[in-house]
Chains A and B, each alone.
Chain A
Amino acid sequence: MKYEIPVGPIHPALKEPIMIKCTIEGERIVDVDVICSQNHRGIEWIGMNRNNPVQSIYTAEKICGICNLCHPACLVIAVEEIADIRAPERAEYIRVIQSELERIHSHLLWAGVAAHELGFDSLLHYVWLVREKVMDTLEIVNGARVPKDTIMYGGVRRDIKDEHIPKIREMIEYYRQAFDKLAKLFLEDKTIKMRTREIGILPYEDAIKLATAGPTTRASGVKKDVRQDMPYFAYPDFEVKAITPDMLTGKVVGDVYDRIIVRLLEVKQSMEIIEDALNNMPKGEILAEPKMIKLLNQIKKAEGEAIGRHEAPRGEDIHYVKLKSGFEHLYSWKVRAPTYINILSWRTMLMDMQIADIPIVAASIDPCMSCTNRVIIADERSGKEKILTSDDLHRLSVKKTRRLLR
Chain B
Amino acid sequence: MKAEELKQKFEEAGYEVWLKEREEGIKVKTKRVSVWIKVDRDAIRDAVEHFIEVSDVYPHFSIISASDEGDNVELNYHFTMGFGKLHEEYSVNFKVAIPKSDLVIKSITDMVPAVIYSEREIREMMGVEFDGLQDKRHMFLTKDFPDGVYPWRRDETAPKGTNKLYETWKEGAE
Contacts and interface: CB of A to CB of B under 8 A. Distances in A.
Direct contact of A and B (CB under 8 A): yes
Interface string B53-69: 00001101111011110
B29 A209 contact: no
Residue of B29, B76, B80, B112 with most chain A CB atoms under a 10 A cut-off: B80
Interface in A24-82: 36-37, 40, 42, 44-45, 48-49, 81
B24 A336 contact: no
B28 A229 contact: no
A236 B82 contact: no
B143 A224 contact: no
B30 A37 contact: no
A99 to B, nearest CB: 14
A92 B26 contact: yes
A209 B111 CA distance: 10
Nearest to A45: B151
B25 interface: yes
Contacts of B57: 208
A233 B24 contact: yes
Interface string A203-245: 0000011110000000000111010111111111101001000
Given A208-B58, A211-B60, A37 B138 contact: yes
Interface of chain A, main secondary structure: mixed
Contacts of A223: 83-84
Interface size class of B (residues with CB under 8 A): 35 or more
A211 B65 contact: no
Given A230-B89, A235-B25, A236-B24, A334 B66 contact: yes
A322 B86 contact: no
A113 interface: no
Contact of A340 (B24, B117, B151): B117
Nearest to A343: B117
B159 interface: yes
B114 A341 contact: yes
Contact of A229 (B29, B67, B88): B88
Interface of B: 20, 22, 24-30, 32, 34, 57-58, 60-63, 65-68, 76, 78, 80, 82-91, 93, 112-114, 116-117, 138-143, 151-152, 158-159
Interface of A: 36-37, 40, 42, 44-45, 48-49, 81, 89, 92-93, 208-211, 222-224, 226, 228-237, 239, 242, 280, 282, 305-307, 309, 316, 318, 320, 322, 331-332, 334, 336, 340-341, 343-344
Given A36-B139, A81-B22, A332-B65, 16 more contacts: A37-B138, A211-B61, A222-B83, A223-B83, A223-B84, A229-B83, A230-B91, A231-B87, A232-B24, A236-B28, A237-B25, A320-B78, A332-B66, A334-B63, A334-B65, A343-B117
